[in-house]
Amino acid sequence: MKLDPTQLADWQIAEAAEKKIKPIQEIGEKLGLQEGELIPMGRNVAKIDYTSTWNRVKDLPIGKYVDVTAITPTPLGEGKTTTTMGLVEGLGIIGKKPVGAIRQPSSGPTFNIKGSAAGGGLAQCIPLAPFSLGLTGDIDAITNAHNLCMVALTARMQHEHNYDDARLKKIGIKRLDIDPERVQIKWAMDFCAQALRNITIGKGGKMDGYEMESGFQITVSSEIMAILAVANSLSDMRERIGKMVVAYSRSGAEVTTADLEVDGAMTALMVEALNPNLVQTIEGNPVLVHAGPFANIAIGQNSVIADMLGIRMGEYLVTESGFAADIGYEKFWDLKCRYSGLKPDAVVIVATVRALKMHGGGPEVKPGKPLDEAYTNENLQLLEAGCDNLIAHIEIVKKSGANPVVCINSFYTDTPAEHALIRRIAEETGARCAVSEHWLKGGEGAVELAEAVVAACEEEHHFEFLYDLDMPLKERVEKIATEIYGADGVEWSDEAEEKMTLFQNDPEVAKMGTCMVKTHLSLSHDPTLKGRPTGWTLPIRDVLIYKGAGFVVPVAGAIKLLPGTGSNPGFRQIDVDVDTGKVTGLF
Domain count, the chain: 2
Specify the amino acid at residue 7. Q
Instruction: Give domain status of residue 241, yes or no.
Output: yes
The enclosing H or E element of 54 equals helix 50-57
How far apart are the C-alpha atoms of 258 and 242, rounded to whole Å? 5
Nearest C-alpha neighbor of 228 from the set 288, 275, 279, 261: 275
Q: For residue 33, what pLDDT is reported?
A: 97
Q: For residue 241, what pLDDT is reported?
A: 98
Q: For residue 171, what pLDDT is reported?
A: 85
Task: Tell me the average pLDDT across 60-72.
Answer: 97
- Which tens digit of pLDDT belongs to each residue from 359-379? 999 999 987 788 999 999 999
How far apart are the C-alpha atoms of 448 and 147, rounded to whole Å? 47
Instruction: Give domain status of residue 449, yes or no.
Output: no
User: What 3-state DSSP class applies to 37?
Assistant: coil
Q: What is the CATH number of the domain that holds 518?
A: 3.10.410.10
Instruction: Give domain status of residue 577, yes or no.
Output: no
Instruction: Give domain status of residue 401, yes or no.
Output: no
Q: For residue 3, what pLDDT is reported?
A: 85
Residue 558 has pLDDT above 60, yes or no: yes
Q: Kind of pairing, strands 254-256 and 277-281?
A: unpaired
Q: Are 326 and 396 in contact (CB under 8 A)?
A: yes
| DSSP-assigned letters across all residues of 244-296 | -EEEEETTS-EEETTTTT-HHHHHHHHTGGGSPEEEEETTS-EEEE-S---TT
Residue 482 has pLDDT above 70, yes or no: yes
3-class secondary structure for 183-240? ECCCEEECCCCHHHCCEEECCCCHHHCCCEEECEEEHHHCHHHHHHHHCCCHHHHHHH
The enclosing H or E element of 435 equals strand 432-436
Answer with the one of 253, 272, 291 that is the final residue of a domain.
Answer: 272
Q: Kind of pairing, strands 277-281 and 286-289?
A: antiparallel
- Report angle CA 546, 273, 109 to the nearest 5 degrees: 75
Instruction: Give domain status of residue 453, yes or no.
Output: no
Catalytic residues: 80, 82, 103, 114, 295, 323, 411, 439
In sequence order, what are the residues at sequence separation of 6 or more whose Cβ sits closer than 8 angstroms to the Cβ of residue 572?
A: none
Answer with the one of 218, 246, 272 that is the final residue of a domain.
Answer: 272
How far apart are the C-alpha atoms of 327 and 524, rounded to whole Å? 11
Q: Are 104 and 67 in contact (CB under 8 A)?
A: no
Domain that holds residue 197: 138-272
Task: Tell me the average pLDDT across 213-232.
Answer: 96
Q: Are 193 and 216 in contact (CB under 8 A)?
A: yes
- pLDDT band at 581, cuts 50/70/90? confident
Instruction: Give domain status of residue 147, yes or no.
Output: yes
Lowest-confidence range among 47-51, 166-170, 478-482, 566-570? Answer: 566-570
49, 359, 478, 488 from 536: Cα distances, Å: 48, 17, 13, 6
How far apart are the C-alpha atoms of 405 and 525, rounded to whole Å? 26
Nearest C-alpha neighbor of 586 from the set 203, 114, 167: 114
Q: For residue 268, what pLDDT is reported?
A: 98
Q: Are 142 and 228 in contact (CB under 8 A)?
A: yes
Asked if omega into 127 is within 30° of 0 (cis), the reply is yes
- Which tens digit of pLDDT belongs to each residue from 71-84? 999 988 899 999 99
Residue 2 has pLDDT above 80, yes or no: no
Quick one: CA dihedral 106, 108, 110, 111, positive or negative? positive
Q: What is the CATH number of the domain that holds 162?
A: 3.30.1510.10
Answer with the one of 248, 272, 296 that is the final residue of a domain.
Answer: 272
Q: Are 27 and 284 in contact (CB under 8 A)?
A: yes
Residue 295 has pLDDT above 90, yes or no: no
Q: For residue 136, what pLDDT is reported?
A: 96
Alpha helices in 400-436 (DSSP H): 416-428
How far apart are the C-alpha atoms of 347 and 432, rounded to whole Å? 10
Paired with 38 in beta bridges are: 48
Quick one: CA dihedral 466, 472, 473, 478, positive or negative? negative
Instruction: Give domain status of residue 189, yes or no.
Output: yes
Q: For residue 586, what pLDDT is reported?
A: 86
Q: For residue 116, what pLDDT is reported?
A: 85
Q: For residue 518, what pLDDT is reported?
A: 95
Instruction: Give domain status of residue 450, yes or no.
Output: no
Task: Tell me the average pLDDT across 233-239.
Answer: 97
Task: Tell me the average pLDDT across 514-533.
Answer: 96
Q: Kind of pairing, strands 537-546 and 551-556?
A: antiparallel
Q: For residue 177, what pLDDT is reported?
A: 95
Residue 550 has pLDDT above 80, yes or no: yes
CA 314 distance to own-chain centroid:
22
Q: Are 449 and 436 in contact (CB under 8 A)?
A: yes
Phi, psi of 549 (to 5 degrees): -70, -30
Between these two residues, 294 and 218, which has the higher pLDDT value? 218
**In the chain, pLDDT over 70 holds for what percent of residues?**
100
Phi, psi of 134 (to 5 degrees): 105, -20
When the pLDDT of each residue in the chain is averaged and rounded to a whole number, the result is 95
255, 353, 359, 456 from 528: Cα distances, Å: 39, 19, 10, 34
**In the chain, pLDDT over 90 holds for what percent of residues?**
86
- pLDDT band at 561, cuts 50/70/90? confident
